[in-house]
Protein backbone atom coordinates (compact mmCIF):
# COMPACT_ATOMS: atom_id res chain seq x y z
CA UNK A 1 0.00 0.00 0.00
CA UNK A 2 1.37 3.45 -0.88
CA UNK A 3 2.49 5.90 1.77
CA UNK A 4 -0.89 7.40 2.29
CA UNK A 5 -0.26 10.31 4.67
CA UNK A 6 0.63 12.70 1.90
CA UNK A 7 -2.52 12.13 -0.14
CA UNK A 8 -5.23 13.91 1.83
CA UNK A 9 -5.28 17.68 1.28
CA UNK A 10 -5.89 19.63 4.51
CA UNK A 11 -9.19 21.09 3.35
CA UNK A 12 -10.56 17.67 2.42
CA UNK A 13 -9.48 16.31 5.81
CA UNK A 14 -11.19 19.21 7.60
CA UNK A 15 -14.38 18.75 5.59
CA UNK A 16 -14.45 15.01 6.35
CA UNK A 17 -13.81 15.57 10.08
CA UNK A 18 -16.54 18.22 10.28
CA UNK A 19 -19.12 16.09 8.50
CA UNK A 20 -18.33 13.04 10.62
CA UNK A 21 -18.73 15.06 13.84
CA UNK A 22 -22.14 16.19 12.58
CA UNK A 23 -23.06 12.58 11.80
CA UNK A 24 -21.97 11.56 15.32
CA UNK A 25 -24.35 14.21 16.65
CA UNK A 26 -27.14 12.87 14.43
CA UNK A 27 -26.59 9.35 15.79
CA UNK A 28 -26.79 10.68 19.37
CA UNK A 29 -30.01 12.42 18.31
CA UNK A 30 -31.33 9.04 17.16
CA UNK A 31 -30.57 7.58 20.61
CA UNK A 32 -32.51 10.41 22.23
CA UNK A 33 -35.47 9.83 19.87
CA UNK A 34 -35.51 6.13 20.80
CA UNK A 35 -35.18 6.95 24.50
CA UNK A 36 -38.11 9.38 24.31
CA UNK A 37 -40.10 6.81 22.30
CA UNK A 38 -40.70 9.19 19.43
CA UNK A 39 -42.88 8.11 16.52
CA UNK A 40 -41.15 5.28 14.60
CA UNK A 41 -41.66 6.82 11.15
CA UNK A 42 -39.96 10.04 12.34
CA UNK A 43 -36.97 8.02 13.56
CA UNK A 44 -36.86 6.16 10.22
CA UNK A 45 -36.75 9.52 8.40
CA UNK A 46 -33.82 10.55 10.61
CA UNK A 47 -32.01 7.28 9.86
CA UNK A 48 -32.45 7.92 6.11
CA UNK A 49 -30.93 11.36 6.67
CA UNK A 50 -27.85 9.87 8.40
CA UNK A 51 -27.50 7.34 5.57
CA UNK A 52 -27.54 10.20 3.06
CA UNK A 53 -24.91 12.10 5.07
CA UNK A 54 -22.67 9.01 5.14
CA UNK A 55 -23.10 8.56 1.38
CA UNK A 56 -21.99 12.13 0.97
CA UNK A 57 -18.86 11.55 3.10
CA UNK A 58 -18.21 8.42 1.02
CA UNK A 59 -18.36 10.44 -2.18
CA UNK A 60 -15.85 12.98 -0.87
CA UNK A 61 -13.50 10.18 0.19
CA UNK A 62 -13.93 8.39 -3.13
CA UNK A 63 -13.13 11.57 -5.01
CA UNK A 64 -9.94 11.97 -3.00
CA UNK A 65 -9.13 8.29 -3.39
CA UNK A 66 -9.54 8.36 -7.18
CA UNK A 67 -7.69 11.64 -7.61
CA UNK A 68 -4.69 10.66 -5.52
CA UNK A 69 -4.30 6.97 -4.63
CA UNK A 70 -5.90 5.49 -7.74
CA UNK A 71 -4.21 7.89 -10.12
CA UNK A 72 -0.89 7.04 -8.48
CA UNK A 73 -1.49 3.31 -8.76
CA UNK A 74 -2.52 3.56 -12.40
CA UNK A 75 0.43 5.72 -13.32
CA UNK A 76 2.80 3.28 -11.65
CA UNK A 77 2.32 1.09 -14.71
CA UNK A 78 2.24 -2.03 -12.53
CA UNK A 79 -0.71 -4.20 -13.59
CA UNK A 80 -1.00 -5.74 -10.09
CA UNK A 81 -1.33 -2.28 -8.53
CA UNK A 82 -4.00 -1.26 -11.04
CA UNK A 83 -5.87 -4.52 -10.48
CA UNK A 84 -5.74 -4.04 -6.71
CA UNK A 85 -7.27 -0.54 -6.72
CA UNK A 86 -9.86 -1.51 -9.35
CA UNK A 87 -10.99 -4.55 -7.36
CA UNK A 88 -11.29 -2.45 -4.19
CA UNK A 89 -13.61 0.06 -5.85
CA UNK A 90 -15.71 -2.57 -7.64
CA UNK A 91 -16.13 -4.45 -4.35
CA UNK A 92 -17.50 -1.28 -2.69
CA UNK A 93 -19.88 -0.46 -5.58
CA UNK A 94 -23.53 -0.64 -4.61
CA UNK A 95 -22.91 -1.17 -0.89
The reply on whether position 57 binds its own copies by CB under 8 A is yes
Question: Are the beta carbons of 60 and 12 closer than 8 angstroms?
Answer: yes
Residues whose CB is less than 8 angstroms from the CB of residue 85 and which lie 6 or more positions away in sequence, other chains included? 69, 70, 73, 74
Largest CA distance in the chain: 57
Q: How far is CA 56 from CA 11, 52, 80, in A?
A: 16, 6, 30
For position 81 contacting its own copies by CB under 8 A, the verdict is no
Of residues 26 through 55, those in contact with its own copies by CB under 8 A are: 27-28, 30-31, 34-35, 37-41, 43-45, 47-48, 50-52, 54-55
Residue ranges binding its own copies (CB under 8 A): 1, 4-5, 7-8, 13, 16-17, 20-21, 23-24, 27-28, 30-31, 34-35, 37-41, 43-45, 47-48, 50-52, 54-55, 57-59, 61-71, 74-75, 77, 82-83, 85-90, 92-95
Amino acid sequence: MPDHATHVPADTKDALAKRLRRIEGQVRGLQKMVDEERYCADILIQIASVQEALRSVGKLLLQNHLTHCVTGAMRSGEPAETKRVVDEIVELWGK
